[in-house]
Amino acid sequence: MRTLIKISLLVSILMVITLLPTSSKAEEKKWEEANHVAIDKTWTIQFNTRVESNSTNHSKVYVTGPDGSRLDNNIVIEGKTITIDAPQGNYKPESTYTIQINEGITSTSGVASTQSHTMNFTTKKATPYINNTFKTQLENKTLKGMKAGLGTSKEDVIEKEGTDYTSRDAGERTILSYSSEIEEDYSYTLQNNKVIGASLNVEEEKIHATDLEELLGAADGENTFDLGGHYTLTYLLPSNHLLVAVFQTSERSSTIQYLFIME
């Protein structure tokens, strides 16, 4: 996924820039920090004019690691954009890096930028819950970390998950609740002896809306379910069932507390 950063080069004649006193030099601009960034992230910087592709401009754009050392990123200058590829072996999970764009980058007409820019970003943790395994199990009507899926019988659930469960009635439905090996509560909802829904507590996974969107695309519904105090996203999956993400709070920026899969 590419993120776009816009920088404006001063459109003026070179002589004016040369004659400007040192005190008029613009202070470094710091962009808002980005979080939960993929470890293979490619950044794209957009200018308002074509940038000269030369060694001097290349040297003014770089990324520093958590210890402040400069990384060996591949920098590409093409037209009005500069792209910063992830370093070989990618960034380390749960680590903070800094993009540095120094002043003095020149356009093809010789105009130089007069302001430096910097931005910190922090990468996601290793082996995130939301990955291709999660997507594959969704296609099989199962939430990752659970052993039974939609359409299975109560006997099948007990055979796969074991007998260490609690059972409660909810009208015409029965709910079987378990505590998983990874200490996350989950349950199955059955009607007429068939699983019609399943839920999983993923609070400890620190999943954000962007994690789902990177894997599944834009959601089909937002706050479709009226769960007071909780923001929700709903996906209609190819197998014609629903995935619902329930967030910790009413804010989209909070993390996901529960995932539901249902017919």
Q: Please tell me the distance from the alpha carbon of residue 219 to that of residue 202, in angstroms, as a whole number.
A: 19
Whether 187 and 168 have beta carbons less than 8 Å apart is answered as no
- Token pair for 146: 């659970």
> 16 pLDDT exceeds 50?
no
Q: Please tell me the distance from the alpha carbon of residue 47 to that of residue 58, in angstroms, as a whole number.
A: 14
Beta strands 34-37; 117-123: pairing state: parallel
What's the pLDDT tens digit per position in 23-50? 455 677 888 899 888 888 899 998 888 9
Please give the radius of gyration of the chain, using alpha carbons only, rounded to the nearest integer. 25
> 104 pLDDT exceeds 60?
yes
160 φ, ψ to 5°?
-85, -35
Q: Which CATH class is domain 2-123?
A: mainly beta
- Token pair for 164: 């260490």
> 5 pLDDT exceeds 90?
no
Q: What is the pLDDT of residue 210?
A: 86
pLDDT tier at 175, thresholds 50, 70, 90: very high
> 244 pLDDT exceeds 70?
yes
Most confident of 51-65, 111-125, 132-146: 51-65
Q: Please tell me the distance from the alpha carbon of residue 157 to that of residue 172, in angstroms, as a whole number.
A: 18
Q: Which helix (H) or strand (E) holds 251?
A: none
What's the pLDDT tens digit per position in 202-226? 988 888 898 898 889 999 999 988 8
> 127 pLDDT exceeds 70?
no
DSSP reduced 3-state for 142: coil
Q: What is the DSSP letter of 107?
A: B
